[in-house]
Amino acid sequence: MRVVLQRVSSASVSVEGRTIASIGQGYLILLGIAPDDEEAAAEYLTKKIAHLRVFEDEAGKMNRSLLDVEGAALVVSQFTLYADTRKGRRPAFVGAAPPDVARPLVDFFADRLRAFGIPVQTGEFGAHMQVALVNDGPVTILMER
């Protein structure tokens, strides 16, 4: 399971010109699922994400978590995080889970974040999406389990 986590002032997802999800302060989470990923990986990553201290406190130090700032999360399924570009000029995506494996894990991941009391919105699985964001900092973190 791979996560690209971006601290944002705002983020949104549109499909066919229609905004389907948007958040203010929080995280845009691009989530890639591998064929052998299990719920345990989602449990680990969501706990880490909820408590990760990357928001600034009064002294300007990254010392506050998403829970501390009462932020939200926008979770977007992103199979291209498993692109293999070692050969040729066209990426291969054989390292990404097929939709019947990935979709339930993406839903489980979002639900686990919600269990922490985090407001969560999601993209549309399998759709061609336009993702807009204002990366705050910028802060972008790669996580893997």
Residue 140: its H or E element:
strand 129-144
Q: Is 78 among the catalytic positions?
A: yes
Q: Does residue 85 carry a catalytic annotation?
A: no
Catalytic residue (choose from 79, 109, 121, 122): 79
* Active-site hit among 19, 80, 130, 140: 80
DSSP 126: T
Yes or no: say if 24 and 9 are a contact pair by the CB < 8 Å rule: yes
What SS3 class is residue 69?
coil
- The answer to whether the bond into 99 is cis (omega within 30° of 0) is no
Query: Could you tell me the two tokens for 81?
Result: 């995080």
Cα 13-8-145 angle, rounded to 5 deg: 85
Residue 46 appears among annotated catalytic residues: no
Among candidate residues 6, 46, 78, 122, the one labeled active-site is: 78
Catalytic residues: 78-80
